[in-house]
């Protein structure tokens, strides 16, 4: 997606009562070169439930629940560089994450936000139906890719159930998913401070 130059509107700002009712971070979209190790760490080490496994074109796209309806998601990009910058430190290395998705309640809230963005002169996509989530995409003035999403399946329905063909749609899941469906993870990765 190309980021256009920033422009300012001269009209009044939308009234505060028109503001969306944010429900937290729908998902943080990150990149991993190894989804199996990612599943083992987020489920086995951090204890986050794996709640969805999808294929986004050729990439695996897995979701781990942080709280009701709030997830961290990973795209598997073989050969992607891993993040090696210590927290709070500067770096000369290019750093990248995919996008941040904010949670809204339902389709009406998504369409209201889309209208609000358009009225403010911001470019925004049509509603995209990903089957398990419905979303719109836009950018902030810094070029950060943003998304707003809701769970049509219901945030309360998110659970580890590899028999659910809608939420667990990866036809060839990583070994850790099969282990979770059986006796549990056979191994978990260790990490080191940098």
Mean pLDDT over 38-48 rounds to: 89
Q: Is 66 helix (H, G, I), strand (E, B) or coil?
A: strand
Helix H or strand E encompassing 28: strand 25-32
Does this model's pTM top 0.95? My answer is no
Interval 59-73: pLDDT, tens: 999 999 988 889 999
| Domain definitions of the chain by residue range | 21-82+94-162+172-181
- Strand segments, DSSP code E, in 33-157 are 50-56, 59-67, 70-76, 99-103, 128-129, 134-139, 145-150
* Residue-averaged pLDDT of the chain: 84
Interval 127-138: pLDDT, tens: 999 989 999 998
Closest Cα partner for 35 from 194, 192, 189, 190?
A: 189
Q: What is the CA radius of gyration of the chain?
A: 18
Q: What count of Cα atoms within 13 Å lies in the side-chain half-sphere of residue 64?
A: 21
Query: Looking at the predicted structure, is the pLDDT value of residue 192 above 90?
Result: no
Closest Cα partner for 48 from 23, 28, 76, 78?
A: 28
pLDDT > 90: what percent of the chain? 44
Query: Looking at the predicted structure, is the pLDDT value of residue 162 above 50?
Result: yes
What is d(CA 107, CA 153) in angstroms, rounded to the nearest whole number?
A: 12
pLDDT of residue 70: 92
* Residue 1's pLDDT band (cuts 50, 70, 90): very low
Give 166's contacts (C-beta < 8 A, 6+ positions apart).
Answer: 131, 132, 153
Specify the CATH superfamily of domain 21-82+94-162+172-181. Answer: 2,3-Dihydroxybiphenyl 1,2-Dioxygenase, domain 1 (3.10.180.10)
* Residue 4's pLDDT band (cuts 50, 70, 90): very low
């Amino acid at each position: 997606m190309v980021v256009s130059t920033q422009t300012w509107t001269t009209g009044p700002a939308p009234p505060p009562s028109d503001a969306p009712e944010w429900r937290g971070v729908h998902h943080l979209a990150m990149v991993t070169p190894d989804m199996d190790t990612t599943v083992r760490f987020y489920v086995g080490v951090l204890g986050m439930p794996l709640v969805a496994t999808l294929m986004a074109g050729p990439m695996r796209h897995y979701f781990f629940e942080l709280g009701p309806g709030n997830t961290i998601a990973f795209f598997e990009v073989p050969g992607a560089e891993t993040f090696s910058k210590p927290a709070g430190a500067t770096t000369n290395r290019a750093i990248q994450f995919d996008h941040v998705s904010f949670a809204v309640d339902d389709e009406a809230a998504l369409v209201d936000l889309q209208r609000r963005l358009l009225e403010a002169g911001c470019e925004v996509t049509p509603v995209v139906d990903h089957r398990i989530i419905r979303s719109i995409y836009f950018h902030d003035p810094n070029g950060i890719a943003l998304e707003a999403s809701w769970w049509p399946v219901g945030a309360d329905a998110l659970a580890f159930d590899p028999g659910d063909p809608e939420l667990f749609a990866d036809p060839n899941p990583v070994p850790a998913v099969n282990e979770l469906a059986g006796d549990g993870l056979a191994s978990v990765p260790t990490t080191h401070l940098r």
